[in-house]
Structure 1
Amino acid sequence: MARYNRRTFLRLTGVTFGAATFGAGTTAGATGKNSRFLIDLREVPRSAIPSDVEIIHDISQIDLLAARGDPSSVGGKAATTPDIKVDQHDGGPAVERDGPTVDEKSQSHNHDGAPTNTELQWDKRVQNVGDLTDKPGGGTVIHDTTKGEGTRVAVVDTGVYDAHPDLQGVVNDELSENFTTDRYDWRPHGAGSHGTHVAGTIAATNSNDGPAGGVLGTAPETEIVAHRVFSGVEGEGASTGDTIAALAAAADKGCDAANFSVGYMNHNPEKHPELREIKAIYQRLSKYVRKKGMVFVNSAGNSSLDMDKTNALSLPTEVEGVFGVAATGPIGCGWGGKHSANEEKWLTGNRLEEPTAEPAFYTNYGSAVDVSAAGGNADLEALDSIEWAKRDLVYSSVYKTTENGNTVPGYGWKAGTSMAAPQVTGAVALVRSLRPTASVEEVESLIKATASDAPGDNAYHGAGHLNLKQLVKRA
């Protein structure tokens, strides 16, 4: 197999991957008198805001308003900040591949016919989350102790397709909300399956009764609050103001954690000084949500970026109080091999060249990483020539649009720190189900204290690699 390290790949392709991208001078609306901007209520009183300025989000919990109008009409320069537009790059993940619909069988492998969907979930199997073997009852699993019951987490993303059989009954439709300016509800409405994939990683119930079964989440009895911040309407996108409002509201709704697989990756703050202002706003937000008891989980980014460089700034991962997650994954998982009668050996085959805790080629790294978790890896050359190479990515719930324009539930592979963050969000739900009164600091400390050693240095893993068995045992 051809091997790519993270620097070689980015140099050869000239591509920067990220859960989101940011362009210089980009805002969430038009420029001039009809632009979107943020108003700092610590710098200007609400009474001084002209009546022709439209307030889009009142985020007075942190003395902030998201507005549209003429920013020059509101106080001095310190009173306003551009409402930077957040654009997903290729739907968020660094790599993705389609899978079957819920009614289809998985493609065959070499020992007992087509695998069930859970056989493709190496991320759950390696953590011993549930009884996912061909021979049930083979030992104790995480879900024997807890499935996250009594907890609530927010997925701040593209919305969640709750008609998926593995997500039915999981999403709280009364608390879920649309934070974009389009006219739809909190479901995706064309915004993409990124949030649905994330939600499945956290809380899928394995309820699909199709021929290949369903997928299983880390905490299938937690409750998902879907806060949509991306719009499927052309030109709408997402904005900083929408995301800040959605995260503050998640804390107000009593969420134990918020999964935020979005960010501003690989940017030079010297060229974009407004990013420093955005960082300060996220700092205020972080303090607020932590006081409300919510763990703020954020993907570290997919730019293969050393976040400790002086000319780099990865937001909001580098904000104090944000729990940053880097990504790991295998190379060679389920590619096949000669072990036709043994499921465990088939999953690793005879080609597992890198373990599941190996840093992914695309992951950002640095002192802002708190832990690493399964986000998927890829041999990029093999992806174009070997069908099973996609099995090194993370497999979860998605939705698809047919040629007739119908929306159908399905499954798919994605790799990115966006896939790693929900592994930790699910872990927070497990801890809080066992320790409902644990503080944010206690939950984070438990996750870090029980993390395992992993290949590579601390820059890629922070305190270590997520270890659910030790975490649940300690909790």
Structure 2
Amino acid sequence: MVRHDRRTFLRLTGTALGAATLGAGTAAGATGENSRFLIDLREVSRSAIPSDVEIIHDISQIDLLAARGDASSVGDAAATTPDIRVYQHDTGPAVERSGPSTNGKSRSHNHDKGIDNSEYQWDKRVQNVGDLTDKPGGGKFIHDTTKGAGTRVAVVDTGVYDAHPDLAGVVNDELSENFTTDSYDWRPNGAGDHGTHVAGTIAAMNSNRGPDGGVLGTAPETEIVAHRVFSGVEGEGASTGDTVAAIAAAADKGCDAANFSVGYINSNPEKYPGLLEIKAIYARLMDYVRSKGMVFVNSAGNGSLDMDAENTLSLPTEVEGVFGVAATGPIGCGWGGKHSDNEAKWLTGNRLEDPTDSPAFYTNYGSAVDVSAAGGDADLDALDRIPEAQRDLVYSTTVTYTYEDGPDDDEDEPVNRPGEIVDREASYGWKAGTSMAAPQVTGAVALVRSLRPDASVEEVESLIQETASSAPGGETYHGAGHLDLKRLVKRA
């Protein structure tokens, strides 16, 4: 394994990992007679809004409307703000690799049979979530105490593929909803498998009966409400109005937590003062959802940024009331040594170059981080040469699309691909990012609420923080510490 400063590597090669800058093109129609914008009902009465202004979302819970039309026709400048586009935190996972379909065949190796899908889940094995080793039996697991029954969490993302065998029966299809302006339902429609991967980390049931089995989530008995805010339709994307509406609705539907692996890229309030207005909107939103008893879990971002630096604003992570999660991961899990084919030994002894709780090379850091959790890491040099190096990423449920012009088998293919989707296939894949760390905490909220259904938002957050473990890098990268499910469930 090549030892190098991966954080420096990211700063030098950010464009290779999808880094971008918030610019004029990221507002969802910032100007013009058919622009998207937000209306503050504290500044203008509803009756004063012209009839030719289309109301896309009524978010009156926080005195807000998402609209389309001519913003200049609605009150004075204080009454409206552009409906800025949002992104899967820093344009998606820092690193990702596709994996097998749900009916993939086992591969033989020198220890037992082929490696089961759940045996790639170092994030669940190191937390002792369930019996995921290749030698079952023995020990006490988190799921011996609780699997999250009686709870509900929202995944505000690209949609969730509920036909995946490990997610069948997990998603509440009556409460799930599409918050974009496209004509499809709440399931993925071409904007990627990000939401499906997140949902598996939270609640996968390990119910695939194929030869390689399935994967297991932190809280497999919780209920998922899928709120889709990303569209695969060209030009649609996702906007602030869509996401704010989806989060407020999740609170209204009685969700114990909302998982939001979404943010604004390299935000600079000095260059884009409108971001301060967006921050104020999220502050109002946090007051509302917390009053409804919902914990709002947000990924800290993948830009390797110090969020405390001058002229840096990481939204919504830095908003008061947001529970911000940084990412950690191992280097060397199941590769680079003589025991690479013995999954029972991947995490034991000195076989890891970096431990599972070490800061990931891409994670944002700073005082807005409340805790860290497993998001996956990568030796980028090895990842290009050694297939097994992807095992340091987080493994979960995914979905593979087939379009009119063929399968979507190009990792560099843009999200907004033209053409109709003609087929979807359940699959598995590796991703690394703070987007993969946030659902670890969302699943933890479900475990706590299953044991303490009347616990307040503040009590749930305090339990997670007070039971977190110390980790390399200290408070700067981990906030109160690294998520520790054993200590958390014992305390709860």
Tell me if both proteins adopt one fold, taking TM over 0.5 as the criterion.
Answer: yes
Identify the match of residue 457 of structure 1 among 465, 474, 483.
474
Give 3-state SS (helix, strand or coil) of 1:68's partner: strand
145-154 vs 334-343, which moves further: 334-343
How far apart, in 2, do the equivalents of 1:462 and 1:350 lie?
26
Identify the match of residue 409 of structure 1 among 426, 433, 438.
426
Give ranges in structure 1 of 5+ residues lacking alignment: none
265-274 vs 355-364, which moves further: 265-274
Give 3-state SS (helix, strand or coil) of 2:314's partner: strand
How far apart, in 1, do the equivalents of 2:218 and 2:346 lie?
23
2:463 is aligned with 1:425: no
180-189 vs 343-352, which moves further: 343-352
Aligned to 1:437: 454
Task: Mark the CA change 1:365 to 1:98 in structure 2 (over 3 Å): closer, same or farther.
Answer: same
Aligned to 1:314: 314
Give 3-state SS (helix, strand or coil) of 2:167's partner: coil
Following superposition, the deviation at residue 7 of structure 1 comes to: 3.8
How far apart, in 2, do the equivalents of 1:341 and 1:268 lie?
47
2:154 is aligned with 1:163: no
Relative to the length of structure 1, the TM-score reads 0.96
Following superposition, the deviation at residue 191 of structure 1 comes to: 1.4
Counterpart mapping for 1:22-41 below 5 A: 22-24=22-24, 26-29=26-29, 31-41=31-41
214-223 vs 127-136, which moves further: 127-136
How far apart, in 1, do the equivalents of 2:348 and 2:463 lie?
30
How far apart, in 1, do the equivalents of 2:349 and 2:215 lie?
21
Give 3-state SS (helix, strand or coil) of 1:187's partner: coil
Following superposition, the deviation at residue 265 of structure 1 comes to: 3.0
Following superposition, the deviation at residue 109 of structure 1 comes to: 4.7
2:204 is aligned with 1:204: yes
Note the aligned Cα RMSD (angstroms): 1.8
Following superposition, the deviation at residue 372 of structure 1 comes to: 0.1
How far apart, in 2, do the equivalents of 1:452 and 1:321 lie?
22
2:489 is aligned with 1:472: yes
Cα pair 1:21 1:89 within 8 Å, conserved: no
- 1:367 maps to amino acid: S
- 1:26 maps to amino acid: T
368-377 vs 338-347, which moves further: 338-347
How far apart, in 2, do the equivalents of 1:324 and 1:316 lie?
9
Task: Mark the CA change 1:7 to 1:136 in structure 2 (over 3 Å): closer, same or farther.
Answer: closer
Task: Mark the CA change 1:76 to 1:104 in structure 2 (over 3 Å): closer, same or farther.
Answer: same
Deviations 1:408-447 (A, max 9, x none): 0000000000000000000000000000000000000000
Cα pair 1:18 1:265 within 8 Å, conserved: no
How far apart, in 2, do the equivalents of 1:363 and 1:230 lie?
23
Deviations 1:183-230 (A, max 9, x none): 000001111100000000000000000000000000000000000000
179-188 vs 336-345, which moves further: 336-345
Task: Mark the CA change 1:355 to 1:411 in structure 2 (over 3 Å): closer, same or farther.
Answer: same
Aligned to 1:185: 185
Cα pair 1:450 1:470 within 8 Å, conserved: yes
2:377 is aligned with 1:360: no
Cα pair 2:383 2:389 within 8 Å, conserved: yes
Cα pair 1:91 1:192 within 8 Å, conserved: no
Following superposition, the deviation at residue 67 of structure 1 comes to: 0.2
Task: Mark the CA change 1:375 to 1:334 in structure 2 (over 3 Å): closer, same or farther.
Answer: same
How far apart, in 2, do the equivalents of 1:109 and 1:214 lie?
19
Give 3-state SS (helix, strand or coil) of 1:364's partner: coil
Deviations 1:369-426 (A, max 9, x none): 0000000000000001011000000000001124465210000000000000000000
Task: Mark the CA change 1:18 to 1:424 in structure 2 (over 3 Å): closer, same or farther.
Answer: farther
Counterpart mapping for 1:52-451 below 5 A: 52-88=52-88, 92-105=92-105, 109-335=109-335, 337-339=337-339, 343-347=343-347, 351-402=351-402, 403=406, 405-451=422-468
Give 3-state SS (helix, strand or coil) of 1:112's partner: coil
442-451 vs 78-87, which moves further: 78-87
Following superposition, the deviation at residue 473 of structure 1 comes to: 0.2
Aligned to 1:45: 45
Which of structure 1's runs of 4+ aligned residues deviate more than 6 A?
18-21
How far apart, in 1, do the equivalents of 2:35 and 2:374 lie?
39
85-94 vs 13-22, which moves further: 13-22
Give ranges in structure 2 of 5+ residues lacking alignment: 408-421
- 1:195 maps to amino acid: G
Task: Mark the CA change 1:271 to 1:249 in structure 2 (over 3 Å): closer, same or farther.
Answer: same
Identity across aligned pairs (percent)? Answer: 82
